[in-house]
Amino acid sequence: MLAIAPPVKPMLAKLESAIPSGEGWRYEPKWDGFRALVFRDGDEVRVDSRNGQPLDRYFPEMLEIAAESFPDRCVLDGEIVVPGRNGLDFDALQQRIHPAASRVKRLTDETPASFIPFDLLAEGDEDLRGRTMDERRTRLVAAITPTARCFPTPQTGDAPTAERWFRDFEGAGLDGIVAKRFDQPYVEGKRVMVKVKHERTADCVVGGYRLNKDKDGIGSLLLGAYDDEGRFHFLGFTSSFKAAERRELLGVFEPMRTGDSFDGFRMPGEPSRWSGGRDASWFPVEQRVVVEVAFDHLQGGWRFRHGTTFRRWRADKEPAECTFDQFEAPKPFRFEDIRELSG
């Protein structure tokens, strides 16, 4: 029996705009994968998502990774990632969550996952959650046998190095920095760490909208941009509006409804395993309104990973000016180079 019984709520981080500096801070890359808590008791390995959902069946290679790299009995907090040719491949990682066992088996061979542990919660009969972060880190590095697909996350106590990582690692698909206090115990479910994520702005054209739950206002505005051939591609959405604004916006966009809008290779409203049965219906509108939004990551070079934050209306900008040229690709940085920094 392990010193900690599942489920365990992961320790969380609060979002800040700048990397903290000063004595006592430790910095790590913010991995862009699936957060996972792994419980190993000999040949038994349990993998939980951050919400306590089982991930074992989707990542059967975790059994081999545990046998190669983990102590015989332990509880680890880390990230499941899929390395690609140019850094992390989040699209491939998402595809691994599939109900068909045959598909899971095929994808395990085609896009094998790696596991990056960044905390050790228990080892043998010891519950380490009450120990300081520095103590747990020392134990983690000593406990893990590094391989090409499992190694402790790199860490530094130097703020300028963390700033450099923040810039360089984006090219490998990582999306920021996590900062931890050296004397912090592991506190389940609390935002006691700090995360700093990349944020940029983009000018996008509103190509449609979804209604809110009560159907009396805008739930989200659907955003797009034009490629070199003039095709209008769906990029994502923004929904950061107050209740009164949502009703007002419906009065603005409802008269602009039209028969079609996006004509790129990705359209809103497509079935998704992540939609949870939610109504994904939407209404196309004339491509007349430009908005500026803030975003953290452009996935695959053509869509926003997460919902964006509305910044302002751009009445001064023509829709045709909203092209993919505004998205500058980060400097390439290989996953293997990050692995070497783990020591």
- The conformation of residue 67, written as its DSSP 8-state character, comes to H
Evaluate the CA torsion angle 197, 88, 137, 122 in order and state its sign. positive
The first and second tokens of residue 48, run together, are 């939980």
**Which three-class secondary structure state does DSSP give residue 339?**
helix
Q: If DSSP codes are grouped into helix, strand and coil, which group holds residue 131?
A: coil
Q: Does the annotation mark 242 as catalytic?
A: no
DSSP state for residue 108 in the 8-state scheme: H
Contacts of 145 (CB under 8 A, 6+ apart): 68, 69, 70
How far apart are alpha carbons 95 and 231 in whole angstroms? 26
The active-site residue out of 9, 30, 190, 317 is: 30
Nearest to 80 by CA among 34, 124, 122, 112: 34
Question: What stretch of H or E contains 205?
Answer: strand 200-211
Give the chain's length: 343
What's the CA gap between 138 and 89, in Å, rounded? 30
Residue 295: beta bridge partners? Answer: 200
Name the residues annotated as catalytic. 30
